[in-house]
Structure 1
Amino acid sequence: MMYAQFASVYDELMLDIPYPAYVDLVDTALHGLSGKKILDVACGTGILSVLLAERGAEVTGIDLSEEMLAVASSRASGRFPSMTFVHQSMQQLHVPGQFEAAVIPIDSLNYLEDEHDVEQTFKRIHRALVPGGLLLFDVHSTFKTDVLFLEGPFTYDSSTISYIWETEEGEEPHSVHSELAFFVREQDGKYARFDEVHYQRTYPVMKYAELLEKSGFSVERIFADWSDEAPDEESERIFFQVRK
């Protein structure tokens, strides 16, 4: 499948994500974005990267998918031609320079296979940040992986895209295995099918805090579901704001 078609699917599926709120969180934590160097880890199609750049940040995006990076580069090229995108895994992050902040948005960290990879990612980002640098990321809660994800199958239907999303409990604690069948309407009105398999794993809040502290970070705050509230038993998305 051509990357442009996949990116179109990805972007539509992300329409409900309040990316501007993510920008506001980083802006507030850094007391302004103008001139700040920011690392967008697992940048995908560059939606957040461009929004950060619109506020004056100098953004470098990394992602494991060359197809996603091609779309991100195309998205940024007209307005931010100097924006850099690097094909790299987050646990092997190695980019030149130092950054005032790094973000790992929209549960991207949950795609790492094990605890070691999570710790390596934190350590690599720690090295890339200036003293006092910010790391902001979000992850699925254990309630979401253990309860909500297992309430599938889930379906989605729009004028151009439909999917059937089936889930089952993964082998590791707080993990979920997903199989998605997408149907994308083409210009002739026919639908083309493609399939995706995803595996995500999360950890209890205190395990993330432990790994962050082992990697040299100090935890500033932990909050949930795009609010200022502390996580509770039924929170779905957990945010961490930490400093080097």
Structure 2
Amino acid sequence: MTNTAKQLKQDYGDDPIAVRETGKYVDEYIGGFVEKWDELIDWDQRAQSEGRFFIDLLKERGAKKVLDVATGTGFHSVRLLNEGFEVISADGTPAMLSQAFRNARANGHVMRTVQADWRWLNRDVHGKYDAVICLGNSFTHLFSERDRRKALAEFYAALRHDGILILDQRNYDIMLDSGSKPRHTYYYCGENVQAEPEHVDEGLARFVYRFPDGSSYNLNMFPLRRNYLVNLMREVGFQTVTTYGDFKETYQQDEPDFFVHVAEKRYPNEEEPS
């Protein structure tokens, strides 16, 4: 058992909103929080909310081999395994990977898992993939632009020449600009589970997650602005980026709870060499 899994309480020191470090997420996902993560997600409700959006998107692109770099407790990996995709499931948190493996077994699959830090992804994960998925607002665990550029470059390198990256994020723009709280219509559907920001500024979004048994946990994340992230993807090398708002291609900027970015590695109208 890891030290994180043994922890009974999260530790942010004397000033929690001063904790703005990429590596902190490993300590945040302590055993008790991981055990309740599926209660927060509610797999059935989340599957109903997402529908077949990601499945159909991947099949339309002809993807067969998928790298899930933010597996968490395995929700998307298991859904893709159920649909016949070849999936490698990676995460930086051992406790999450252990829970994901158990969830996969309960669904009749033996999950292929890898513990990996995105910044050195290709050191631990080998081969090329038709698609890389980074879902569940996970990319916002990266606090420095250097880390974000490095991670995106690692995702890019893991893709085949015509591969795609699918990455989502909360609509932090509306939180930063108007102070509005997310509606959680799509991602966090657990009954009687509250997930809301305690503090938001341009460098930190600190969320609290409250459960029916009275327990609560926090996550400190970086509030990525939509246009900043899209531009960063293009600067790293992705040729086109299409953004969906709550799984819709047409939306008002301030409406979605989540943005989903689909970044193409292949050049538009690229011709195969003869």
TM-score by structure 1 length?
0.79
Identity within the alignment, %: 21
The answer to whether residue 143 in structure 2 is matched with residue 122 in structure 1 is no
CA distance in 2, matches of 1:58, 1:157: 28
Partner residue, 1:47:
75
The answer to whether residue 54 in structure 2 is matched with residue 27 in structure 1 is no
The answer to whether residue 160 in structure 2 is matched with residue 139 in structure 1 is no
Partner residue, 2:20:
none
CA distance in 1, matches of 2:159, 2:209: 36
Partner of 1:10: helix, strand, or coil? helix
1:40–1:19: structure 2 CA closer, same or farther, 3 Å change rule?
farther
The answer to whether residue 103 in structure 2 is matched with residue 75 in structure 1 is yes
Q: Which structure 1 residue ranges, 5 or more long, are not aligned?
A: 185-190
The answer to whether residue 248 in structure 2 is matched with residue 217 in structure 1 is no
Contact 2:181 2:197 in 1 (8 A): no
1:76–1:235: structure 2 CA closer, same or farther, 3 Å change rule?
closer
Q: CA deviation at 1:144?
A: 4.1
CA distance in 2, matches of 1:44, 1:22: 19
- Structure with the larger RCO, 1 or 2 (CA within 8 Å, 6+ apart): 2
Q: Which structure 2 residue ranges, 5 or more long, are not aligned?
A: 7-29, 184-188, 266-274
CA distance in 2, matches of 1:127, 1:164: 34
Superposed CA RMSD: 2.9
Contact 1:145 1:176 in 2 (8 A): no
Q: CA deviation at 1:86?
A: 1.1
Contact 2:182 2:257 in 1 (8 A): no
1:22–1:115: structure 2 CA closer, same or farther, 3 Å change rule?
farther
CA distance in 1, matches of 2:182, 2:160: 41
Q: CA deviation at 1:97?
A: 0.7
Counterpart amino acid of residue 13 in structure 1 = L
1:225–1:163: structure 2 CA closer, same or farther, 3 Å change rule?
closer
CA distance in 2, matches of 1:75, 1:220: 32
Contact 2:239 2:263 in 1 (8 A): yes
Q: CA deviation at 1:87?
A: 1.2
CA distance in 2, matches of 1:205, 1:20: 23
Aligned residues: 224
CA distance in 2, matches of 1:86, 1:198: 23
Contact 1:37 1:59 in 2 (8 A): yes
Q: CA deviation at 1:148?
A: 2.4
CA distance in 1, matches of 2:182, 2:35: 27
CA distance in 1, matches of 2:190, 2:247: 26
Partner of 1:93: helix, strand, or coil? helix
How far does the alpha carbon of each residue in 1:112-137 deviate from its partner, in whole angstroms, 9 at most, with x for none? 11222221111001111100101111
CA distance in 2, matches of 1:24, 1:106: 15
Q: CA deviation at 1:143?
A: 3.2
The answer to whether residue 196 in structure 2 is matched with residue 175 in structure 1 is no
1:227–1:166: structure 2 CA closer, same or farther, 3 Å change rule?
closer
Partner of 1:176: helix, strand, or coil? strand
1:85–1:19: structure 2 CA closer, same or farther, 3 Å change rule?
farther
Partner of 1:232: helix, strand, or coil? coil
Partner of 2:68: helix, strand, or coil? strand
TM-score by structure 2 length?
0.71
1:210–1:51: structure 2 CA closer, same or farther, 3 Å change rule?
same
How far does the alpha carbon of each residue in 1:62-103 deviate from its partner, in whole angstroms, 9 at most, with x for none? 11211110011122236222x311112223212111100011
